[in-house]
């Protein structure tokens, strides 16, 4: 990750703030339902936003059948997300466009690090008993340490959902604090697994606690819950990030993950960030898409922008 | 900007909606659009034309006809001719016509939306996602009522030909609200769109004709306000429906007074947007955006008065200012703008003058540093703080993107501030505490209350105002009654137009008569009936009395000769009865029912005495008197029954949550009773009013008031709280004049002469109170339909729709 000057150091747990949180679900839904109709970009602007979406992607493989070969293929795509002829025709060679990061399981970190050697693309590793977060704390901490030792520059931790569901904010705070310490210089993205949480209010509260505990990013989902990154979760978390910034002056990034596979969705997410948090959250330093199949659609849409013709999927190189 | 520049700036770019089809439509009509009468374009010889401009860029769109009296006649004649067959067309057949219209609207959805935005200046997002979908929805919904009319509204018939005048802020939506219920109920219409925005109504008329609606059912007449006035005055019109400013509403009320034309008015507002400390503040900020920066704030129900609890006021205003900086103002056909253009230069100027007024009044004006197009009628979103309830910008409707903000300390103060207005169209209440939110929602005086949401509209819920925001509802079952008349009733049509007469209601207090009031033999003790005000028997303020004679001229008694101060006192007492704890309207229906049953019980105990009184006073037979008193008992039982069975219902809107329609009391109702069936008419009128939680100032029959003065003794023994029913005797029109001019009276029911009916309707315009008059026509009070039909409950209530989204 390119350096953002100040990481969120966290704050003491402010329980009064956490418990006073209010989120009105139906109003949140109204906002997210109307946003795609309120904001859109066309033509050159759309193409530029697509390119931006690529630069903010955490190109991800988190499957039980991951192999070193699979990871190498993904890393190759991360280095060169667009076909060279498209880069040339778009005239964006100077961007040296890559994705934001490659995201893998801890056991695949070494493989990814070596496959990305010579680039600035960071390797992100999930950790802490991903996806459920229900292994003993000792092991979860060890997992973080191992991933960092193997060269991961970003660690995507998962929270123990029961701590959120039961409102045990102190326990949640303490654990995330320890994970943050274990991360050292690696940036920590905290996955709230919002699809497992009971209410949007809990999503907001968990966001606050995760930020107080020093998260660099908060992230919606593991991709394994039945509901992944919805705009409602995104809006609530973005508002929490804004409130935290206003209250503490600390900047925290955001990563929606899971279920974002279409270029059009990517535009809405970028618009959500621009509207709720501002242009600073349209950079990979503060915004990432956790996605595996989004890239192909972005390529196809860019191809259409270039040529006016709709592209075939099999013309785009696999990641 | 090139690709790399945008990549770095991540700016929004232009996202234009194509206007090619709309331009082609205008071209096909040579940019010169006729009137639409009998499903045909009409270009009158030598007509004047009026130019429509696109407010976003000043471009000329088209010319439209300025209708004259001749074309008004032509359109009304077309509608009259069509009315004969359309009213007889079976409901299910009309339903299919409305269904076909709804479908055809959807088939031309985009064209309607684009033309609407070009003509009005509203963002395409709104016309595309809100206005046109609601347009179609209204015809779907009312197709259903056409289907069900024969069974569900069997006691009603169509009104006839309806003249409809709509404003420029929602040309298509207002047209839908007007036309759909009217034609569903078997009426035909002549609709006049606003001068600024005429084009979409003409396109709509063509779409309706394409959908196969018979000629003459819907006619669109373009023209100036003069044409509107001619339409309103036209003798062939049976009902006038208007949406627009309160000032024009007042004019129309006076203009149609006494004519027997039904009138519904949807007027201005200064709707409160109330945010409590426990609200989801971020969501409430979005609510404000939807409340006041929707349609450039040119919305009658715009949440233009922000009230925020003091302890979160500063936080909320900070959040709001930040959000305002994200608003995009620009080309209405750009798909990514929040606000388009103000409809016309004069309107723009008015808005700007209001903002200057705000500055002069010491207000702090905030406008975000956002880009506005250099040309076109664009106005920035504006917030004015440091204003007070005494500020003009807080009291008056600005009708633009201007929000005023104030703080409050407590729920009680929030309510007081919310209701401190002459208007009562809508309100928005934000709190996560359901008890608080629903309590405030039930107490704000407004026709629509949105809890944790704002500007929600649907065909299934009526929209309309309290107070000077007008009367009548559009949408829901409640809205249908504006286009219906009881089956038994003919269209009241006074023979001659009535002129305003200054002397009406003038009265010189009565003097002694030559007839003796005391006789040692027949009247051994003097009886002096009094006024009944605030639960007490009081002497008339003027200390004058009038003799009451039977039809043969024999003296039968005396009553006080009331004056304006008696009315004033009675109105105060009627208000006090609402303020008592518990106020009359806040009592449970069960409790009001108990009191009405008790009234019946005590009246029955004095059955014979009342019969004798009626015989002596009116000269009717004892049998007739018995029938009348029996009918009174029946009425009391009927309204005791209705006291807890007319509270409202659940509206099946498109909201995810519940929309509740509440039949609230109107407030303080003045009732002037007829001379026929003096006791039965009194009971038939007073009972529904008090059953539904109103308090009443009642002027009994001028000729036969003694049964009313006897009746207050029954009230005294029946636990009717003081002030609920006040009785002021005297000359009917003299007392009515004070009542109708009283600005703290909410409705007046007048059953007297044609001239009196005219006066009542005319004078009601002072505070836009509701009226219910008989135009000098008698009704048979013994007849169950005429004496206690649904219309009595309708007149005794006003519908509030409370929208409560749900979900955690």
Chain B residues 517-546 with CB within 8 Å of chain A: none
Instruction: Please list every residue in chain A whose beta carbon sits closer than 8 Å to the beta carbon of residue B279.
Output: 22, 24
Chain A within 8 Å of B12 (Cβ-Cβ)? yes
DSSP state of B475: S
CA distance B640 to B759: 33
Q: How far is B721 from chain A (nearest CA, A)?
A: 42
User: Among all residues of chain A, which has the CA nearest to that of B656?
Assistant: A26
Instruction: Please list every residue in chain B whose beta carbon sits closer than 8 Å to the beta carbon of residue A30.
Output: 286, 290, 453, 805
Average pLDDT over residues B167-195: 98
The ipTM estimated for the assembled molecules is 0.97
Interval B259-292: pLDDT, tens: 999 999 999 999 999 999 999 999 999 999 999 9
Specify the pLDDT at position B743.
98
User: Among all residues of chain A, which has the CA nearest to that of B129?
Assistant: A37
| Partner residue facing A25 (CB), from B1, B16, B808 | B808
Q: How far is A161 from chain B (nearest CA, A)?
A: 18
Chain B within 8 Å of A96 (Cβ-Cβ)? no
Interval B60-109: pLDDT, tens: 999 999 999 999 999 999 999 999 999 999 999 999 999 999 999 999 99
Q: Is the pLDDT of residue A4 over 70?
A: no
Q: Is the pLDDT of residue B659 over 50?
A: yes
CA distance B394 to B383: 12
Instruction: Please list every residue in chain B whose beta carbon sits closer than 8 Å to the beta carbon of residue A37.
Output: 125, 128-129, 335
Interval B588-633: pLDDT, tens: 999 999 999 999 999 999 999 999 999 999 999 999 999 999 999 9
Interval B775-795: pLDDT, tens: 999 999 999 999 999 999 999
Active centre residues of B (catalytic): 266, 300
Per-residue confidence at B528, pLDDT binned at 50, 70, 90? Answer: confident
Q: Is the pLDDT of residue B575 over 60?
A: yes
Residue of A58, A156, A196, A216 marked active site = A156
Interval B10-27: pLDDT, tens: 999 999 999 999 999 999
Q: Is residue A305 situated within a structural domain? A: yes
Question: CATH number of the domain that A174 lies in?
Answer: 3.20.20.70
Specify the pLDDT at position A5.
59
A97's enclosing H/E stretch is none
Domain count along chain A:
1
User: Among all residues of chain A, which has the CA nearest to that of B337?
Assistant: A38
DSSP state of B339: B
Specify the pLDDT at position A1.
43
The alpha carbon torsion through B436, B441, B442, B446 (nearest 10 deg) reads: 160
Q: How far is A50 from chain B (nearest CA, A)?
A: 9
Q: Is residue A131 situated within a structural domain? A: yes
Q: Residue A152, class by beta-carbon neighbours within 10 Å (0-12 exposed, 13-18 middle, 19+ buried)?
A: buried
Instruction: Give the whole-number percent of chain B exceeding pLDDT 70.
Output: 100
Quick check: pTM over 0.95?
yes
Chain B within 8 Å of A67 (Cβ-Cβ)? no
Per-residue confidence at A245, pLDDT binned at 50, 70, 90? Answer: very high
A219 is known as an active-site residue = yes
CA distance B440 to B424: 14
Q: Is residue A51 situated within a structural domain? A: yes
Is the Cβ–Cβ distance between B571 and B740 less than 8 Å? Answer: no
Average pLDDT over residues A115-144: 98
Instruction: Please list every residue in chain B whose beta carbon sits closer than 8 Å to the beta carbon of residue A27.
Output: 280, 283-284, 286-287, 452-453, 805
A185 is known as an active-site residue = no
Orientation angle between helical segments B281-292 and A25-38, nearest 10 degrees = 50
Sheet containing B48-53, strands listed edge to edge, beginning at the edge strand earlier in sequence: B32-33, B60-66, B48-53
Interval B669-688: pLDDT, tens: 999 999 999 999 999 999 99
Two tokens at A305? 């922008």
A89 is known as an active-site residue = no
Specify the pLDDT at position B448.
98
User: Among all residues of chain A, which has the CA nearest to that of B805?
Assistant: A26
Q: Is residue A1 situated within a structural domain? A: no
Two tokens at B372? 């506005």
Domain coverage including residue A210: 15-315
CA distance B182 to B194: 19
Interval A181-230: pLDDT, tens: 999 999 999 999 999 999 999 999 999 999 999 999 999 999 999 999 99
Chain A within 8 Å of B14 (Cβ-Cβ)? yes
| Partner residue facing A26 (CB), from B284, B326, B657 | B657
Q: Is the pLDDT of residue B318 over 90?
A: yes
Q: Is residue A9 situated within a structural domain? A: no
Average pLDDT over residues A40-68: 98
Two tokens at A270? 């970028």
Is the Cβ–Cβ distance between B752 and B505 less than 8 Å? Answer: no
CA distance B78 to B83: 8
CA distance B158 to B160: 6
Two tokens at A63? 């499957």
| Partner residue facing B280 (CB), from A23, A41, A51 | A23
Q: Is the pLDDT of residue A165 over 60?
A: yes
Chain B within 8 Å of A26 (Cβ-Cβ)? yes
Chain A, chain B: beta-carbon pairs less than 8 Å apart: 107
Chain A within 8 Å of B434 (Cβ-Cβ)? no
Interval B468-524: pLDDT, tens: 999 999 999 999 999 999 999 999 988 777 888 889 999 999 888 888 877 777 777
DSSP state of B744: T
Chain A within 8 Å of B3 (Cβ-Cβ)? yes
CB-CB under 8 Å, B283 with A27: yes
Q: Is residue A183 situated within a structural domain? A: yes
Instruction: Please list every residue in chain B whose beta carbon sits closer than 8 Å to the beta carbon of residue A29.
Output: 656, 807
Per-residue confidence at B527, pLDDT binned at 50, 70, 90? Answer: confident
Specify the pLDDT at position B630.
98
CB-CB under 8 Å, B13 with A41: yes
DSSP per-residue string spanning B498-560 = PPP-TTTT--PPP---SS-S-BTTTB-S-----EEETTEEE--TT--EEEEE-TTS-EEEEEE
Q: How far is A252 from chain B (nearest CA, A)?
A: 18
Specify the pLDDT at position B502.
86
Chain A residues 265-294 with CB within 8 Å of chain B: 270, 274-275, 279, 282
Chain B within 8 Å of A127 (Cβ-Cβ)? no
Instruction: Please list every residue in chain A whose beta carbon sits closer than 8 Å to the beta carbon of residue B12.
Output: 39, 41, 45
Chain A within 8 Å of B338 (Cβ-Cβ)? yes
Q: Is residue A304 situated within a structural domain? A: yes
Q: Is the pLDDT of residue B226 over 50?
A: yes
Q: What is the mean pLDDT of chain B?
A: 97
Instruction: Please list every residue in chain A whose beta carbon sits closer than 8 Å to the beta carbon of residue B808.
Output: 25, 199-201
Chain B within 8 Å of A45 (Cβ-Cβ)? yes
Specify the pLDDT at position A2.
45
CB-CB under 8 Å, B10 with A52: yes
Instruction: Give the whole-number percent of chain A exceeding pLDDT 70.
Output: 98
CA distance B575 to B584: 10
Q: Is residue A4 situated within a structural domain? A: no
């Amino acid at each position: 990750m390119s350096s953002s000057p100040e990481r969120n150091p966290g704050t003491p747990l402010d329980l009064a703030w956490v418990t006073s949180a209010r989120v009105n679900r139906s109003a949140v839904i109204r906002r997210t339902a109307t946003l795609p109709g309120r904001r859109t970009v066309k033509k050159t602007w759309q193409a530029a936003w697509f390119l931006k979406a690529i630069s903010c992607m955490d190109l991800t493989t988190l499957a039980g059948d991951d192999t070193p070969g699979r990871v190498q293929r993904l890393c190759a795509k991360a280095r060169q997300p667009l076909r060279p002829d498209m880069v040339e025709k778009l005239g964006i060679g100077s961007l040296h466009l890559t994705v934001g990061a490659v995201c893998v399981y801890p056991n695949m970190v070494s493989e990814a690090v070596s496959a990305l050697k010579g680039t600035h693309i960071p390797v992100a590793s999930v950790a802490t008993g991903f996806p459920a977060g229900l292994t003993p704390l000792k092991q979860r901490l060890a997992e973080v340490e191992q991933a960092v030792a193997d060269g991961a520059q970003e660690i995507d931790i998962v929270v123990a959902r029961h701590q959120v569901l039961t409102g045990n904010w102190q326990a949640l705070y303490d654990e995330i604090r320890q994970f943050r310490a274990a991360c050292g210089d690696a940036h920590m993205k905290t996955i709230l697994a919002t699809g497992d949480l009971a209410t949007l209010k809990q999503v907001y509260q968990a966001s606050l606690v995760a930020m107080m505990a020093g998260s660099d990013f908060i992230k919606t989902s593991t991709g394994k819950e039945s509901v992944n990154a919805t705009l409602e979760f995104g809006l609530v978390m973005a508002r929490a990030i804004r409130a935290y910034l206003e209250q503490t002056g600390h900047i925290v990034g955001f990563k929606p993950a899971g279920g974002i596979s279409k270029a059009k969705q990517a535009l809405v997410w970028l618009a959500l960030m621009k509207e709720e948090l501002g242009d600073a959250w349209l950079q990979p330093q503060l915004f990432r898409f956790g996605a595996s199949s989004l890239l192909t659609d972005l390529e196809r849409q860019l191809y259409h922008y270039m040529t006016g013709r709709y592209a075939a999927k099999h013309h785009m190189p696999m990641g | 900007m090139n690709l790399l520049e945008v990549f770095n700036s991540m700016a929004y770019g232009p996202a234009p909606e194509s206007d090619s089809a709309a331009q082609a439509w205008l071209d096909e009509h040579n940019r010169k659009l006729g009137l639409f009468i009998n499903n045909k374009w009409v270009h009158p010889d030598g007509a004047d034309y009026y130019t429509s401009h696109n407010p976003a860029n000043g471009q000329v769109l088209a010319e439209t006809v300025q209708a004259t009296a001749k074309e008004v006649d032509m359109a009304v004649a077309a509608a009259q001719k069509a009315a004969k067959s359309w009213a007889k067309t079976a409901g299910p057949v009309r339903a299919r016509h409305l269904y076909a219209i709804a479908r055809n609207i959807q088939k031309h959805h985009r064209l309607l939306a684009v033309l609407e935005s070009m003509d009005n200046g509203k963002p395409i997002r709104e016309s595309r996602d809100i206005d046109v979908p609601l347009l179609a929805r209204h015809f779907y919904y009312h197709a259903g009522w056409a289907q069900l009319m024969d069974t569900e509204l069997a006691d009603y018939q169509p009104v006839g030909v309806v003249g409809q005048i709509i404003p420029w802020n929602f040309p298509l939506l207002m047209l839908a609200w007007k036309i759909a219920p009217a034609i569903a109920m078997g009426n035909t219409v002549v609709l006049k769109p606003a001068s600024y925005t005429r084009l979409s109504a003409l396109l709509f008329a063509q779409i309706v004709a394409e959908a196969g609606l018979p000629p003459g059912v819907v006619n669109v007449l373009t023209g100036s306000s003069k044409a509107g006035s001619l339409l309103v005055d036209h003798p062939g019109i049976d009902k006038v429906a208007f949406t627009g400013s309160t000032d024009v509403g007042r004019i129309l009320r006076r203009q149609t007074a006494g004519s027997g034309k039904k009138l519904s008015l949807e007027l201005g507002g200064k709707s409160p947007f109330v945010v409590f400390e426990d609200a989801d503040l971020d969501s409430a900020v979005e609510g404000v955006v939807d409340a006041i920066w929707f349609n450039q704030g040119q919305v009658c129900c715009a949440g233009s008065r922000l009230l925020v609890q003091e302890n979160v006021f500063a936080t909320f205003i900070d959040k709001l200012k930040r959000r305002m900086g994200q608003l995009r103002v620009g080309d209405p056909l750009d798909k990514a703008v929040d606000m388009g253009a103000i409809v016309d230069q004069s309107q723009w100027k008015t808005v700007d003058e209001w903002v200057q007024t705000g500055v002069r009044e010491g207000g702090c004006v905030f406008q975000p540093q956002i880009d506005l197009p250099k040309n076109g009628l664009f106005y920035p979103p504006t917030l004015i703080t440091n204003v007070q309830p005494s500020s003009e910008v807080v009291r008056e409707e600005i009708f633009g993107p201007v929000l005023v903000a104030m703080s409050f300390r407590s729920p009680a103060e929030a309510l007081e501030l919310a209701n401190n207005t002459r208007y009562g169209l809508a309100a928005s209440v934000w709190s996560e505490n359901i008890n608080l939110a629903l309590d405030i929602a039930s107490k704000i005086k407004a026709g629509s209350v949105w809890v944790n949401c704002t500007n929600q509209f649907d065909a299934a819920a009526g929209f309309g105002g309290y107070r000077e925001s007008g009367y009548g509802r559009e949408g829901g079952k409640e809205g249908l009654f504006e286009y219906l008349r009881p089956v038994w009733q003919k269209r009241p049509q006074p023979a001659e137009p009535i002129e305003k007469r200054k002397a009406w209601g003038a009265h010189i207090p009565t003097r002694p008569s030559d007839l003796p009031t005391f006789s040692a033999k027949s009247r051994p003790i003097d009886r002096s009936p009094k006024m009944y005000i605030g639960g007490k028997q009081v002497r008339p303020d003027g200390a004058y009395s009038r003799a009451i004679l039977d039809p043969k001229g024999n003296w039968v008694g005396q009553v006080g000769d009331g004056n304006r101060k008696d009315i004033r006192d009675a109105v105060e007492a009627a208000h006090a009865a609402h303020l008592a704890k518990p106020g009359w309207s806040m009592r449970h229906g069960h409790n009001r029912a108990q009191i009405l049953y008790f009234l019946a019980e005590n009246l029955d105990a004095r059955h014979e005495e009342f019969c004798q009184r009626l015989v002596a006073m009116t000269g009717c037979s004892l049998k007739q008197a018995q029938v009348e008193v029996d009918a009174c008992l029946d009425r009391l039982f009927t309204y005791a029954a209705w006291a807890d069975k007319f509270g409202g219902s659940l509206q099946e809107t498109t909201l995810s949550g519940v929309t509740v329609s509440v039949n609230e009391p109107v407030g303080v109702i003045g009732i002037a009773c007829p001379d026929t069936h003096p006791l039965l008419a009194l009971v038939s009128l007073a009972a529904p009013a008090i059953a539904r939680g109103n308090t009443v100032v009642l002027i009994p029959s001028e000729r036969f008031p003694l049964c009313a003065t006897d009746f207050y003794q029954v009230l005294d023994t029946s636990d009717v709280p003081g002030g609920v029913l006040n009785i002021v005797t005297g000359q009917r029109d003299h007392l009515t004049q004070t009542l109708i001019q009283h600005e703290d009276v909410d409705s007046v029911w007048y059953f007297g002469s044609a001239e009196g009916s005219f006066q009542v309707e005319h004078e009601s315009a002072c505070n836009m109170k509701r009226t219910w008059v008989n135009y000098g026509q008698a009704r048979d009070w013994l007849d169950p339909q005429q004496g206690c039909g649904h219309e009595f409950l309708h007149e005794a209530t006003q519908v509030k729709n409370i929208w409560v989204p749900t979900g955690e």
